[in-house]
Amino acid sequence: MNNIKETIGFIGAGNMATALISGLINSDQSASKIIASSPEQEHLEKLSKDFGIKTTNNNLEIVDNSDIVILAVKPNIVQAVIDEIKDVATDKDILIISIAAGVKIEKIESQLGSPMRVIRAMPNTPASIMEGVTAICANSNAQSNDIENAKLLFECVGKITHINEKDIDIYTALIGSGPAYIFYLIESLLDSSKNLHLPEQEKKDLLASMISGAANLVLNSDESPNVLRKKVTSPGGVTQTAIEEFETEGLKEILSKSMIAAEKKSIELGED
């Protein structure tokens, strides 16, 4: 894997920033080219101890010493951070990558007050174990090298796709929020497992492994999920009975309506 040649600065040192820094280090990115800031001294000390990177509680130091700045802060903090760094950031012509959920590129551009290279990224939570899925979208000022660097960054923690920002809301509904749906499915199957006399932890592990195995089969097979399902659904058998119950209860329609509702909510949050 190619390394990012530019120095990368993180404003924010929470879970996602930590996952990205870990992914970079595990991909042989030099620790000397990574710097992070946070008001939480405990977070900084852990990053310094675990990864050997430079840390600071001064956001302007991040901008002064970085070519790429990752805004890894909560959405309600973005404006305050941009107000603090925008003058220095504009003078340096840095690339800004925002992972703040729901904050549109247009809003970041207007807060910066001058044309800059901006990429918006949305990683999901399995990035914390290097199995994430991240969507990125860039503004018109971003160069091909900027997009390539963003891809290299997020490939360190999983898969990546480059999308148009107009598709970000349905992406959020399907994939950004998707891990929660799988957690809900496991939770529901656990609720249905009372007659399986095994320890709760073992049942959880078996169900999670079953879902992981099925997902990997989809990833490694040339056949569609529909064909794979039919291969394990014997006529008149146990699986067929469960599938018929799903169909009777309208599970596909429920999922479709839920995605429409989630997409609508994502749009509403982005307009706040």
Q: Measured between alpha carbons, how far is 9 from 55 in angstroms, rounded to an integer?
A: 9
Banded model confidence at residue 117, pLDDT cuts 50, 70, 90:
very high
User: In this predicted structure, what is the pLDDT of residue 177?
Assistant: 94
Banded model confidence at residue 267, pLDDT cuts 50, 70, 90:
confident
Average pLDDT across the chain, whole number: 93
Q: Which of 223, 257, 226 is nearest to 243 (CA)?
A: 226
The CATH code of the domain that includes 60 is 3.40.50.720
Residues 117 and 181 in one domain: no
Q: What are the tens digits of pLDDT across the range 8-39?
A: 999 999 999 999 999 999 998 899 999 999 99
36: its two tokens: 């992070």
Q: Which of 88, 80, 136 is nearest to 108 (CA)?
A: 80
Q: What are the tens digits of pLDDT across the range 206-241?
A: 999 999 999 999 999 999 999 999 999 999 999 999
Three-state DSSP state, 184: helix
Residues 40 and 125 in one domain: yes
| 55 beta partners | 36
Residues 237 and 103 in one domain: no
Helix (H), strand (E) at residue 90: helix 78-92
Q: What are the tens digits of pLDDT across the range 179-215?
A: 999 999 999 999 999 999 999 999 999 999 999 999 9
Of 145, 167, 189, which residue constitutes the final position of a domain?
167
User: In this predicted structure, what is the pLDDT of residue 90?
Assistant: 87
For residue 216, being part of any structural domain is answered with yes
The distance of Cα 227 from the centroid of its chain, to the nearest Å, equals 29
Which domain does 94 fall in, by range?
8-167
**Is it the case that residue 113 has pLDDT exceeding 90?**
no
User: In this predicted structure, what is the pLDDT of residue 1?
Assistant: 52
DSSP strand pairing (8-11 vs 132-138): unpaired
125: its two tokens: 């939570």
**Is it the case that residue 270 has pLDDT exceeding 80?**
no
Q: What is the pTM of this model?
A: 0.89
Question: For 154, how many CA atoms within 13 A lie in the half-sphere containing its CB?
Answer: 27
Q: Measured between alpha carbons, how far is 55 from 72 in angstroms, rounded to an integer?
A: 14
Residues 89 and 138 in one domain: yes
User: In this predicted structure, what is the pLDDT of residue 272?
Assistant: 67
For residue 183, being part of any structural domain is answered with yes
For residue 181, being part of any structural domain is answered with yes
Q: Taking residues 144-157, report their average pLDDT.
A: 94
User: In this predicted structure, what is the pLDDT of residue 5?
Assistant: 87
| The residue to which tokens 């595990």 are assigned | 26
For residue 113, being part of any structural domain is answered with yes
Residues 97 and 209 in one domain: no
User: In this predicted structure, what is the pLDDT of residue 8?
Assistant: 96
Of 167, 189, 205, which residue constitutes the final position of a domain?
167
Residues 181 and 101 in one domain: no
Q: Which of 223, 221, 225, 120 is nearest to 176 (CA)?
A: 120
For residue 92, being part of any structural domain is answered with yes
Q: Measured between alpha carbons, how far is 138 from 238 in angstroms, rounded to an integer?
A: 48
The CATH code of the domain that includes 229 is 1.10.3730.10
Domain count within the chain: 2
User: In this predicted structure, what is the pLDDT of residue 65?
Assistant: 93
